[in-house]
Structure 1
Amino acid sequence: MQKPDMLHLHRIDPARNIARFYVLSVTPTLFGSASLVRHWGRMGTLGRTRIDLFGAHGDAEAELHRMARIKRRRGYVDVERESGM
């Protein structure tokens, strides 16, 4: 089971040669604020990473949920839901 502040999504469509992953996580910073770490790319590659800083943990979580909604609209699904875990 994933923590609420971490989300692992993927999108697989062999007919269109699509096999992508997207991982979102909220982590604390050394200065008491929070960061949203986004890691994405084609499965089997190292992918890319982006870190966005937020003043509060709640702001970072809100952005995580906003990004998750956007990705789900584009066809990404939760890894657990897809694999039946």
Structure 2
Amino acid sequence: MTRQDPSRNMARFYVVSLAPTLFGEVSLVRNWGRIGSRGQMMVETFPTADAALEASDRLARVKRRKGYHSPCPTGQVPAATI
């Protein structure tokens, strides 16, 4: 997801992905920052894939309300896979 506003010199990105852990849990990996930079990363672990997917959807809704949009031409975010 990206959010850009040239009048405010704002160019941000936000990426959410799911990754399995070695112990059967699922990690929600968030990466955000200014476009062109490496940004920051945060990892949150959930006991099930459903819980991680629910948290991912919740974060995406919050970011869309704040003005972020998907860079996909269709406007739809591809389904997360584990």
Does TM, scored on the shorter chain, surpass 0.5? yes
Q: Which TM bucket (shorter chain)?
A: 0.7 to 0.9
TM-score (norm 2): 0.87
Structure whose residues are more often strand by fraction: 1
CA shift at 1:58, angstroms? 0.5
Secondary structure at 1:80 match in 2: coil
More helix, by proportion: 1
Q: Secondary structure at the match of 2:57?
A: helix
| Alignment length (residue pairs) | 75
Counterpart position of 1:6: none
Residue ranges of structure 1 left out of the alignment (5+ in a row): 1-8
- Structure 1 segments, 4+ long, off by >3 Å, are none
* Identical amino acids, percent of aligned pairs: 47
Where structure 2 has 5 or more consecutive residues not aligned to the other structure, the ranges are 76-82
Code of the residue aligned with 2:50 in structure 1: it is: G
Instruction: Give RMSD over aligned pairs.
Output: 1.4
